[in-house]
Amino acid sequence: MPALLDVIDLHKSFGGVQAVTGMAFTVEAGSVTGLIGPNGAGKSTVIETVTGFLKPDRGTVRFANRDIQGLTPHHISALGLTRTFQLPREWPSLTVLENMLVAAIDGKRDKLWRAVFTPGPLARAQKDDLARAREVLDSFGLLGLRNDLAKTLSGGQKRLLEFARLVIARPRMVLLDEPMAGVNPTMRARIQESIERLVHHGMTVLLVEHNLDIVEALCDTVVVMALGQCIATGSMQELRLNPVVVDAYLGSDAVITAAVDG
């Protein structure tokens, strides 16, 4: 499959600290690619830089064959590349259903003049949005909470709402920054199913996650970062036997476990 996201020689520093130095990797269209590494490896900085929340010092970020480094998050999102955060971000004073309807807004019909001069098509589009929002909420088990304020949801429910908003917004690619963070073990299976649902809806996924069981279950290809750069790429089975990866991140027990399992 062709590369949907291509990161080439990415650099980002903060003062004298080199957070990312020469990072390079690709994400194929239609794939779920993992991005792992120890704390401080630079994973979140890569996510922030790729999605426009930070400007790179140098390097190239190509999405769908277009250079996007230096563009604002709004412009990058409009191209179809979006992200989640380590802590779910919802509109707390809106209901669950209203959160969904905001995510469903189409840039082609969000102008005031359209409401004045084309009220019929706009009303039909809003009706379709409402039906679609209810359908997606139902698939995530959130339809019964549609009239609750988003701020009253539990952490796991907020994460599910975040994924539901992604489904209705339909980006081409989403970068998930530690989606299992702060989620209880019971909810983790539902989060994993939610990620699989994103793929089912045609999205390409880059997954940053410390839970390696989840990474192995979801990702065919995993990129390993250490000290701001890529040190290895492969399947989790291959990476467990890579001494560079073991030394930097996994620990010697991983090699022993892989040898026994193999």
Whether residue 107 is found in the same domain as residue 75: no
- Residue reference for tokens 């994103």: 198
- Residue reference for tokens 């239609």: 30
Q: Measuring CA to CA, which residue among 5, 3, 1 is closest to residue 174?
A: 5
Whether residue 239 is found in the same domain as residue 183: yes
Q: Give the whole-angstrom CA distance, residue 144 versus residue 102.
A: 19
Q: How many domains does the chain have?
A: 2
CB 43 within 8 A of CB 208: yes
pLDDT of residue 260: 30
CB 35 within 8 A of CB 208: yes
**Residue 56 maps to a domain:** yes
24 phi/psi in degrees, rounded to 5: -145, 130
How much is the pTM?
Answer: 0.84
What number of other Cβ atoms are within 10 A of residue 201's Cβ? 13
Indicate the pairing of strand 229-234 with strand 66-67. unpaired
Whether residue 178 is found in the same domain as residue 51: yes
Is 216 strand, coil or helix?
A: helix
**Residue 48 maps to a domain:** yes
Whether residue 176 is found in the same domain as residue 114: no
pLDDT of residue 53: 95
**Element of type H or E holding 66:** strand 66-67
Q: Which of 123, 152, 181 is the last residue of a domain?
A: 152
**Residue 161 maps to a domain:** no
Whether residue 204 is found in the same domain as residue 112: no
pLDDT of residue 238: 93
CA distances in angstroms from 216 to 38, 141, 207, 212, 239, listed in the order given: 16, 26, 11, 6, 11
CATH number at residue 198: 3.40.50.300
Whether residue 85 is found in the same domain as residue 95: no
Q: Which of 152, 177, 192 is the last residue of a domain?
A: 152
Domain limits at 101?
91-152
pLDDT of residue 156: 87
Q: Give the whole-angstrom CA distance, residue 99 versus residue 86.
A: 19
Pull the structure tokens for residue 126: 């809003």
Whether residue 79 is found in the same domain as residue 98: no
The strand ranges marked E within 101-203 are: 173-177
Q: Give the whole-angstrom CA distance, residue 42 versus residue 48.
A: 10
pLDDT in tens, the chain (262 residues): 679 999 999 999 998 899 999 999 999 999 999 999 998 899 999 999 999 999 999 999 999 999 999 899 999 999 999 999 888 889 999 999 999 998 886 654 455 445 444 556 666 767 888 999 999 999 899 999 999 999 999 888 999 999 999 989 889 999 999 998 877 888 888 889 889 988 988 999 999 998 899 999 999 899 999 999 999 999 999 998 999 998 888 664 443 343 333 3
Whether residue 42 is found in the same domain as residue 120: no
Query: From its phi and psi, is residue 220 left (phi > 0), alpha (psi between -120 and 50) or beta?
Result: alpha
Strand partners, 12: 20
Whether residue 73 is found in the same domain as residue 175: yes
**Residue 159 maps to a domain:** no
Whether residue 210 is found in the same domain as residue 232: yes
pLDDT of residue 110: 54
Whether residue 133 is found in the same domain as residue 257: no
Whether residue 177 is found in the same domain as residue 248: yes
